[in-house]
Amino acid sequence: MTDPIYAIPDIHGQDALLEAALDLVARDGGAEARIVFLGDLVDRGPNSRAVIERLRVAQAQGRPWTVLRGNHDQMFMDFLDTGVIKSPHIRSGLSWLHHRLGGATTLASYGLDVTEDATAWEAARRAVPQAHRDWLAGLPLWQEVGDLLFVHAGIRPGLSLPAQDPADLMWIRDGFLDHEGAHPWLVVHGHTALEMPTHFGNRIDLDGGAAYGRPLWPAVFEGREASLLTETGRIALCP
């Protein structure tokens, strides 16, 4: 019997939803369950700081948790490092501080009231603990577990993992979401919000839109078999 591994998709500052998802995992797999978090810990939701602290402390205490880096986590890091608020990957041209992207909400969780400009940079560098910055900078971009590949956004089909562009791992949609062929793994990802998690045969998108007030769905994998965790038990997630 394959040991189960759990996955929790894009949290986006929804610490209360994260707590509920972790409770479901603990009830299904015990306190020491192995969990992969698919990135996008921050932005849009009300308490990005609490999400980062919860996951950082749990890892420091030895929980078998892997936390991946998402594009929103990268934008937060880029702002703290350089003050940049625009990304070439944002097709709308909106800045990270725009309410639709949620950067200002992340900074608010650190006690900062900012508008859509870069003047908050120095204040943010003072407000965000160095421990949070160091932890975010150390997050990996993917986790391979047997026949499963956990990643935030997806992969460029046909390329080996070492050949993948880090930007694709955090941002890709075109060329991945529309790819119908098999991958070397069942790819488990978030990044593209759906009404609820969906199995597409060669990939599973677990992002059910917690950033927009929808549920945060934890999942369990036993080999390539996947199920969602709910208050009433497991629900098989099938193609």
DSSP annotation of 6: E
Rounded to whole angstroms, the Cα distance separating 126 from 36 reads 30
pLDDT score recorded for residue 31: 86
Give the H/E segment covering residue 60: helix 48-60
Tell me the C-alpha to C-alpha distance, in Å, between residue 156 and each of 29, 141, 153.
32, 14, 10
- CATH number of the domain residue 93 falls in: 3.60.21.10
Q: Say what percent of the chain tops pLDDT 70.
A: 97
Strand 65-67 with 35-37, pairing: parallel
144: amino acid identity, one letter: E
Widest CA span of the chain, in angstroms? Answer: 55
> Which tens digits make up the pLDDT trace of 28-38?
999 899 999 99
The range of the structural domain enclosing residue 54 comes to 5-237
CB 142 within 8 A of CB 150: yes
Beta bridge partners of 65: 35
CB 8 within 8 A of CB 210: no
Query: With left for phi above 0 and alpha for psi between -120 and 50, is residue 103 left, alpha or beta?
Result: alpha
Answer yes or no: is pLDDT of 1 > 80.
no
Answer yes or no: is pLDDT of 54 > 60.
yes
How many other CB atoms are there within 10 angstroms of residue 172's CB atom? 24
Which tokens is 164 given? 């993948």
Contacts of 50 (CB under 8 A, 6+ apart): 15, 109
Of the given ranges (75-79, 122-126, 188-192, 233-237), which has the lowest mean pLDDT? 122-126
> Which tens digits make up the pLDDT trace of 132-155?
999 999 999 999 999 999 999 999
Residue 169 — φ and ψ, nearest 5°?
Answer: -60, -30
The structure's pTM equals 0.96
pLDDT score recorded for residue 117: 59
pLDDT score recorded for residue 218: 98
> Which tens digits make up the pLDDT trace of 186-204?
999 999 999 999 999 999 9
Answer yes or no: is pLDDT of 120 > 90.
no
Location of structure tokens 């880029």: 78
Answer yes or no: is pLDDT of 116 > 70.
no
When pLDDT is averaged across residues 163-178 and rounded to a whole number, the result is: 98
The full DSSP string for 69-115 is --HHHHHHHHHHHH-----TT-TT---TTSTTTTHHHHHHTTT----
Which tokens is 85 given? 């608020």
Rounded to whole angstroms, the Cα distance separating 112 from 107 reads 5
pLDDT score recorded for residue 227: 98
Structural domain count, the chain = 1
Strand 186-189 with 198-199, pairing: unpaired
pLDDT score recorded for residue 144: 97
How many other CB atoms are there within 10 angstroms of residue 177's CB atom? 15
